[in-house]
Structure 1
């Protein structure tokens, strides 16, 4: 049922988890929704708004006073069950818990991790190079960032496949688990580690955060569970998806491979530009007050979906947005690939470093590569879109 305050002309049938054509092209599937209107209402997933013009996406993403992050996602019941800290908090409460998390992910810790990221990337490349082919998602993109994150929280690397499946259920649910089962699976896995960190902190990320007081108070067990649950899911999907899209671009544009190999000093700027060009993260917000925008009113209680792809690829927001230009003057804060405003991704610095290291190590180790001519690239939608299959080939 469409609410009375939603104009009929704004109603569409669009499932964010399965946009038409998404398996072939995530970005084209989303851009088909951008028809000049700033907001549309979809009947799918219980009914919610979707911001479809770049200026509206950005403005609503920044409006933390009237749009709350408590809902987490449009998936019914997910936010009420997960109760992430600090992602689902707002205002002063969000700031109080975000501060220890940001201290735990401070730049000095990210810099200290870089040699380890390099080592993992080199080991993967060394194993792949003689094969002259790989399925990049499974063979690299889902290994590098997950291994690094699991190392940061000091849990066994052999648990990666198990945790990867949980991460996919959060961002691209397939119905095989209820949200309650997903939360319970994460909590059952995390609790022994949390208990140990709270009793005897070590040098890992969870220990660093839990050692930081929250406005002068120690972490409670419940708050610690919610924070660790948040970071676990936050570290399982987004960077893997990002690296996959970057590799896809390079496979399609060998001249960009050649340029970055010849001028490796361009790699940091290239990482920023490629992250802008290939955004796959979307967030959900629930209105806590009426918001008048684009000629309609978002009523308190409505859900709003904000896709970064429709901001970053809007020609009114970025000049020639679909063109990759490594000389583009671009601040990572301008695009919304890693969020915007008060809820900008707490791991943004780590994510950027991992993309830079991937580019540097992969291009140094792997010869000019291309898409496998006889195997399709496949993609999937959801709160984090991604390549699900990316077959690459190269010659020795």
Structure 2
């Protein structure tokens, strides 16, 4: 795509968000390659049809929360994805999205998250018991891809045996490989969800979807189209982000055995340790499209332009956090300060659930596993996309 008129050459890059240079070995360094000392806060990439990328922490943070000039309808850089998915409430803008988001938040109220904590601990211990005797594991395949999906499928009360099928759909949304069109991806999700939606709308139970349906939308029932779009949103939202989060956190522990020792000795610090590790290893990025012509960081952004907002470039910006690449368990950190789980009106509706899962994982893993380290004979592999992740994390222990 042509570079917009008036954009200086130092603002133009050829940066593919799905495959940043060097992402296979270090997702974070790959993204930080965009940042230059005293460099611009916005750049234009010619990749993927051309779009803006916010590269400075203050710009990322302010635009993430700007729902007046930027719309969430576009969803992603992937052509056609937003038009096909029409997620509720993720692709809605205020004030329309407010009543829908409120209903989803009621379904994910803190009392339900607290009630689920014993199940998270139970599944974590079961997975540990399965891998521990071997002295080694491929953590992503044997643990990270199982725990969060197990919990989410329990939450929506669908068969746990469906996990591999759904995991494949989640990967196609955030890291598409071209094997499915966006229409095929949407239809596959809808075909899977349809019988569950129809059953829960007719006879609500105690699962997450049922609780949301019972809450209604601003005093009225959900329509079938709205219910399908909302369940589609929650399904994809629950399939990838926590998997990536747990993978990155475990990679840190494997690289820093002293942190394993320290956290075992200070279990009271696990909640703030979870917050700090989530801040340090963010992998979620979002797309927004401008609804008006505006100036951002000295460049003219036209109505309709896509602006890409990577949480990694906010969380690892020294102007946003002191020594951001250091993990400091005594860092005074409100979880809403970092953008790992979003910011503003579209902060992740499942943020409380995700945080609880990470805390419980850390508690049970450190209590029941010996010191872990990376297998020196097998490489760590990573992948880019709207949710970056470890795709291979080989661990060993004595």
Q: Which residue of 1 aligns with 2:263?
A: 260
Q: Which residue of 2 aligns with 1:289?
A: 292
Query: 2 CA distance for matches of 1:342 and 1:291?
Result: 21
Q: Which residue is equivalent to 1:272? A: 275
Q: Does 1:78 align with 2:78?
A: no
Is 2:118 aligned against 1:118?
no
Determine the C-alpha separation between the residues in 2 that align with 1:362 and 1:134. Answer: 14
1:344 and 2:347 aligned: yes
Alignment of 1:202-241 (within 5 A): 202-241=205-244
Please state how far the C-alpha of 1:182 moved relative to its aligned partner. 0.2
State the distance in 1 between where 2:170 and 2:354 align.
Answer: 16
Distance 1:302 1:56 in 2: 16
Q: Does 1:363 align with 2:366?
A: yes
- The separation in 1 between residues aligned to 2:67 and 2:253, in whole angstroms, is 36
1:7 aligns with 2:30: no
Residues 289-298 or 62-71, more deviating: 289-298
Specify every segment of 5 or more residues in structure 2 that has no aligned partner in the other structure, as ranges: none
Displacement of 1:158 = 0.3
In structure 1, the partner of 2:18 is 17
The TM-score with structure 2 as length reference comes to 0.99
Asked if 1:196 is matched to 2:176, the reply is no
1:10 deviation in Å? 1.0
Q: Give a deviation string over 1:51-96, Cα, whole Å, max 9, x none.
A: 0000100011111100000000010100000000000000111101
Separation of aligned partners in 1, 2:95 and 2:320: 31
CA apart distance, 1:106: 0.4
- Superposition TM-score, scaled by structure 1 size: 0.99
Q: How many Å separate the matches in 2 of 1:80 and 1:5? A: 30
After the TM superposition, which parts of structure 1 deviate over 3 Å for at least 4 consecutive aligned residues? none
Q: CA deviation at 1:298?
A: 1.1
- Size of the alignment, in residue pairs? 395
Per the TM alignment, residue 5 of structure 1 is displaced from its structure 2 partner at its CA by 4.2
Q: CA RMSD in A?
A: 0.6
In 2: Cα distance, 1:138 partner to 1:360 partner: 21
Partner SS for 1:236: helix
SS of the counterpart of 1:292?
strand
Query: Take 2:382 and 2:327, find their aligned partners in 1: how far apart are those partners?
Result: 20
Q: Which runs of 5+ in 1 are unaligned?
A: none
Render the CA deviation track for 1:149-169: whole Å, top value 9, x for unaligned: 001001000000000000000
Q: Deviations over 1:317-357 (max 9, x none)?
A: 10000000000000000000000000000000000000001
**Residue range with higher mean Cα deviation, 294-303 or 379-388:** 294-303
Shift of 1:277: 0.3
Partner of 1:314: 317
- 1:291, CA displacement in angstroms? 2.4
Partner of 2:387: 384
